[in-house]
Structure 1
Amino acid sequence: MILITPLATETVRALQAGAPDAYGIPPEQHVAQGTGNPCRHCLRFIPEGAEMLILAYRPFAGLHPYAEIGPIFLCADACAQHEGGAMPEVLRDSPDYLLKGYNAQDRIVYGTGRVVAATEIAEYAETVFERGEVAYIHVRSARNNCYQARIDRG
């Protein structure tokens, strides 16, 4: 069983209040245009016309060669954190996603990175977790490499 883990509410509330992003600057305020803006907290698409934030995010605690930084979207207003075992809306929209396993030292476990069909995310994640050194998995956009969510053992 797997668990889709969104950004922590404490982190998101700080960013929504103007805390600096991974580059030390405040998140940019924008209005969602279209439906392609996935919030990394509620794991839903930000509705067209709604206020949203765009910011640089690093899904790692420390700095090291594997600590990628990239753009993400968040709802500008408080939203409920994604919970539960169901595959969230934002991971059902694209035809495929990039999954990569990481060890407890936040290093990529080579041989785990693969572009996977959206319908096969859970199955592939279970396979990756069979490797004992994998602590967690990142789900990223297969097109733009943007961080989407983390997968943990359930």
Structure 2
Amino acid sequence: MRFRISGLPAEPFAELFALSDEALAERRAVRVIADTAHGYPCRISLTDAQAGQALILLNYEHQPANSPFRSTHAIYIRQGEEQFDRVDEVPEQLRRRLLSVRGFDAQGMLRDADVAQGTALEPLIERLFADEKVAYLHIHMARPGCYAARVDRA
């Protein structure tokens, strides 16, 4: 089964990078500097920041469904990134992590979920999409629990 993984679009976040630390705090966001590799995953490009790179950590509503599963969580974004949007391609950022994958129906209700290493993501995507009522998937980093990306049928 073909699938499409997408990061977040960059445009809605562009103005944040010009804000002062005080203005960011008013939006429950903070500027951070990555101090290790692979610890600061950008949700736009689905790449990891390198040590010394600046990011913004903010709360983001990744599941806006009008259901009990409506949800927000902290995400990192990096300035100047392009949205990851590819068919049948898993980014390295996801490959190197333990992932929680959640399948939702068109009303935003959870239908199924499971955990897999990123190296075994494709079989899990295929299994979850075998349920025709699953409209889309959300991938979360299993250990920190943060939203990572969306998966749709291609």
Distance 1:121 1:63 in 2: 28
1:69 equivalent in structure 2: 72
Deviations 1:18-73 (A, max 9, x none): 5x99xx71531111110210000000001110110000111123554211221111
How does 1:28-47 map onto structure 2 within 5 Å? 28-35=30-37, 36-47=39-50
Distance 2:66 2:11 in 1: 21
- Shift of the 103–62 alpha-carbon distance from structure 1 to 2, 3 Å rule, reads closer
**Contact 1:34–1:48, Cα closer than 8 Å, also in 2:** yes
In terms of mean alpha carbon deviation, does 117-126 or 31-40 score higher? 117-126
- SS at structure 2 position matched to 1:59: strand
Same amino acid, percent of matched pairs: 27
TM-score (normalizing by structure 2): 0.85
2:113 equivalent in structure 1: 113
- Shift of the 64–116 alpha-carbon distance from structure 1 to 2, 3 Å rule, reads same
Distance 1:104 1:8 in 2: 21
Deviations 1:126-149 (A, max 9, x none): 111111111100111111211011
State the superposition RMSD in angstroms. Answer: 2.2
TM-score (normalizing by structure 1): 0.85
Figure out how many residues of one structure are paired with residues of the other and give that number. Answer: 148
1:151 equivalent in structure 2: 151
Distance 1:134 1:98 in 2: 16
Structure holding more strand per residue: 2
1:93 to 93, 96, 99: 96
Distance 1:14 1:62 in 2: 25
Structure 1: 5+ residue runs without aligned partners? none
Structure holding more helix per residue: 2
CA shift, 1:14, in A, is 4.5
**Contact 1:16–1:78, Cα closer than 8 Å, also in 2:** no
